[in-house]
Amino acid sequence: QVQLQQWGAGLLKPSETLSLNCAVYGGSLSDYSWTWIRQSPGKGLEWIGEIDHRGSTNIKPSLKHRVSISLDTSKNQFSLRLSSLTAADTAVYYCARLVTGTRDLDVWGPGTTVTVSS
């Protein structure tokens, strides 16, 4: 059974860069895409972007100038970087697996609470 474990700094200051990692256990990065989603009380669930097993990314246009998503196949993990943080980026961040074809999110990480505050 595939599980996702995620980690990264939870308290950051405005203008700093968020770095989150998500490791895939019990399965391979191949044949799926890997997604980042965030959830805040104000904006609900928001898709940030995804990366496929070949390393091609698709990022939400409104975040594209601040977001990068990468893959490390040697470690079986993928990562999110979000730069120029503001308070509006405060949210719970989830990594999730996107099934090719049906495009549903069938496995989720537990979430990382990120707070941006001076």
| Sites of contact with other proteins (CB under 8 A) | 44-47, 58, 60-62, 94, 96, 98-99, 102-106, 108-111
Q: How far is CA 116 from CA 60, 88, 101, 112, in A?
A: 20, 8, 36, 13
Which residue's CB is nearer to other proteins, number 96 or number 114? Answer: 96
Which residue's CB is nearer to other proteins, number 8 or number 111? Answer: 111
8 A C-beta contact, residue 31 and residue 102: no
CB of 43 to other proteins, least distance (A): 10
Which residue's CB is nearer to other proteins, number 102 or number 118? Answer: 102
